[in-house]
Amino acid sequence: MEANQETSHEHHHSKSDWYDKWYKPLLVIPVIIMILCLAYIGFFYSEHHTIMLRDSSLTGGTTITITGGNIDTVSLGSQLKAQFPDVIIRKLTDIRTGKPVSVMIESSATPEQLKPALEKVLGFSLTDQNSSTEFTGSSLSQSFYAQLMIALVISFILMSFVVFISFRTFVPSMAIIFAAFGDIVIPLAIIDFFGVRISAAGIAAFLMLIGYSVDTDVLLTTRALKRKGGTLNSRIYGAFKTGTLMTTTALVAVLPSFFIVTALPDSFRQIFFILALGLFADIFNTWLTNASIIKWYCTRRRIE
């Protein structure tokens, strides 16, 4: 081999050799991440008796959002704690200007109990001009939560059906479903770790994730199994180039709602937060897990 003729083809070859050697060990990484996440969720469940913390729309109670938010949240919290031990206060700040946008006060109490107490501490009255109030009864919220969980399971099952009908082969289909499962488990573990309280809209985002994140897996599987021409590695690498661009643009669509435009409805931000986590998780799940399984499957079936 002549040293001055190191073409991109050869370069590609060396990458290819590397992948041939390492694809099986690479599979270990996502499996370990997945086991850690599941273990953490299990631990979280044993601590909190729920797989995720929920906000008042799913546990029952009241959320009052005060516009402007020039409020000393620390002293507000300590004054309200006496009467409402479960009160949670969050302050939303505009990242660009550092100006407070709004303050959210959450408790399991009813608005009739919480509002007057809050007004007393604040020293001004809450009208529909300066505040928003959201109340959900506790039995309703329990049933909403249960239903959304059922919806999540149904959604997952329907997704699995579509995958099986589209590809009609067991291992590649299972690989996609496994990746989709990871796309839910990893964000959930991260959310639990940070103690984020999930709203109804947040669970809807998990459903969306099921449909959204598997796009890249479908791309990979189609390119690897159905496209003719090129080596298997070059097809996988081509899919990787397309897929990462897809994920990048999706993240570009999702991330500005945290870093650039922060004063957005909470439900909106939560949907995008969960989608962003899922998209990140999907990079691992598609290009480590799913790609390795597909490569393994194709090698055994002698699909080149």
Partner 1 sequence: MKLKLSWKIWMLIVFLILSAIIIAPSFQKGVTIKSVEKNSTAYDEGLRTNMIITAINGEKINNFQDYTNIINSIFPNATTDTATASVSSQNLSKLNNSNINKTLQNNTSSSNKNKIKLTITTKDSDYILFDDIPPSITVGDIPSSRIKTGLDLSGGARALVKAENKSLNANEVGDLVAITSNRLNEFGIADVTVKPVSDLSGNNFMQIEVAGATPADLNDLISQQGKFEAKIGNETVFVGGKQDITYVARTGDQSGIYSCSAYQGGEVCNFRFAISLSAEAAQRHSEITGKLGVNATNPQYLDKQLDLYLDDKLVESLYIGKDLKGSTTTQIEISGSGTGKDQKEAYTEAQNSMKKLQTVLITGSLPYKLEIVKIDSISPVLGKEFTTNIIYLGIIVFIGVAIVILIRYRKIKITLGVILTMFSEAIITLAVASLIHWNLDAPSIAGIIAGIGTGVDDQIVIIDEALSSGSDTRSLKEKIKSAFFIIFTAFFLTIAAMIPLFWAGAGMLKGFALTTIIGVSIGVLVTRPAFSDLVKLIIKE
Judged by CB, which is closer to partner 1: 26, or 219? 219
Stretch that binds partner 1, among 18-26, 45-53, 252-260, 289-297 (CB under 8 A): 252-260
CB 30 within 8 A of CB 182: yes
Residues 39-58 that bind partner 1 (CB under 8 A): none
Q: How far is the CB of 38 from partner 1 (least distance, A)?
A: 21
Q: What is the rounded CA–CA span in Å between residue 159 and residue 174?
A: 11
Of these, 83, 113, 142, 234, which contacts partner 1 (CB under 8 A)? 234
Q: How far is the CB of 82 from partner 1 (least distance, A)?
A: 26
CB 177 within 8 A of CB 163: yes
DSSP 3-state of 53: coil
Spell out, one character per residue from 255 to 294, where the chain touches partner 1: x when CB under 8 A holds, - when not. Answer: -xx--xx-xxx-xx--xx--x-------------------
Q: How far is the CB of 29 from partner 1 (least distance, A)?
A: 25
Could you tell me how many residues of this chain bind partner 1 (CB under 8 A)? 76
CB 101 within 8 A of CB 93: yes
Residues 9-38 that bind partner 1 (CB under 8 A): none
Q: How many CB atoms lie within 10 A of CB 101?
A: 17
Q: How far is the CB of 238 from partner 1 (least distance, A)?
A: 7
Task: Kindly list the distances between the CA atom of residue 247 and the CA atoms of 152, 174, 241, 275, 296, in Å, as whole numbers in the listed order.
Answer: 23, 22, 10, 11, 24
Q: What is the rounded CA–CA span in Å between residue 201 and residue 136?
A: 14
Judged by CB, which is closer to partner 1: 50, or 267? 267
